Chain A
Amino acid sequence: GNSVTQMEGPVTLSEEAFLTINCTYTATGYPSLFWYVQYPGEGLQLLLKATKADDKGSNKGFEATYRKETTSFHLEKGSVQVSDSAVYFCALRRQQGGSEKLVFGKGMKLTVNP
């Protein structure tokens, strides 16, 4: 079946630290891959996406590369800020019954301290 496994937190970092959040997936075919971010009190927002192998998604200093050979889509940021404190969800989009649906990982809470 289709599933997403991401590293579980919570994680606490100091400002300007390097961030990596691991995400691997299991899927039939070639799904699109996503990172969503949920800031406190808000709904999930699309952070970045990649639709095919070797694509790199990037936004707000975050990057993730679609690696088919390792079935991974790890999220990275070189220098985190306090404002990056949020919960991060890795997800894939699967096709089922004529419609497309998102499958999420468990989410990882990141806290960045000044």
Chain B
Amino acid sequence: GAVVSQHPSWVICKSGTSVKIECRSLDFQATTMFWYRQFPKQSLMLMATSNEGSKATYEQGVEKDKFLINHASLTLSTLTVTSAHPEDSSFYICSARQQGATDTQYFGPGTRLTVL
């Protein structure tokens, strides 16, 4: 099946620094990518939807200036957590929807962010 990768798989950073997480669709073109956040023992919460070549659409309550999303190509989307703080520590998961296939999202393995 389709494969989505994320890099890095985990990252530890100091408070106030910015962290970039990459999401790649390895064997298909993804017109739409989604970014989720998952807290321990909680469900995945959709943060934003990004379409290739256009601005991301953020869910209510998600700060767009804090979580910068770029979807520059059909195989790559990036999430940058700017000026990270300990409360941003979480598990970030991306998914990608194949071009022309509205039914299925393929998920990456997630990135564990720890902000000290």
Contacts and interface: CB of A to CB of B under 8 A. Distances in A.
Contacts of B104: 46
Interface string B72-116: 000000000000000000000101000000101111111000000
A101 interface: yes
A101 B4 contact: no
A43 B106 contact: yes
A114 interface: no
Interface residues of B, number: 22
Determine the interface band of chain A, counting residues with CB < 8 A from chain B. Answer: 20 to 34
B50 to A, nearest CB: 11
A43 B108 contact: yes
Interface in B41-97: 41-44, 46, 49, 57, 93, 95
A41 B10 CA distance: 12
A43 B110 contact: yes
B65 to A, nearest CB: 21
A106 B41 contact: yes
A43 B93 contact: yes
Q: Secondary structure at chain A's binding surface: helix, strand, loop or mixed?
A: strand
B43 A42 contact: no
B40 to A, nearest CB: 10
A16 to B, nearest CB: 28
B107 A41 contact: no
Interface string B1-26: 10010100000000000000000000
Given A41-B109, A43-B93, A43-B107, A101 B43 contact: no
A104 B102 contact: no
A105 to B, nearest CB: 6
B43 A102 contact: no
Contacts of B49: 99, 101
A43 B10 CA distance: 14
Given A97-B57, A100-B102, A101-B49, A44 B107 contact: yes
9 contacts: A4-B43, A41-B109, A43-B93, A43-B107, A44-B44, A46-B105, A99-B49, A99-B57, A102-B46
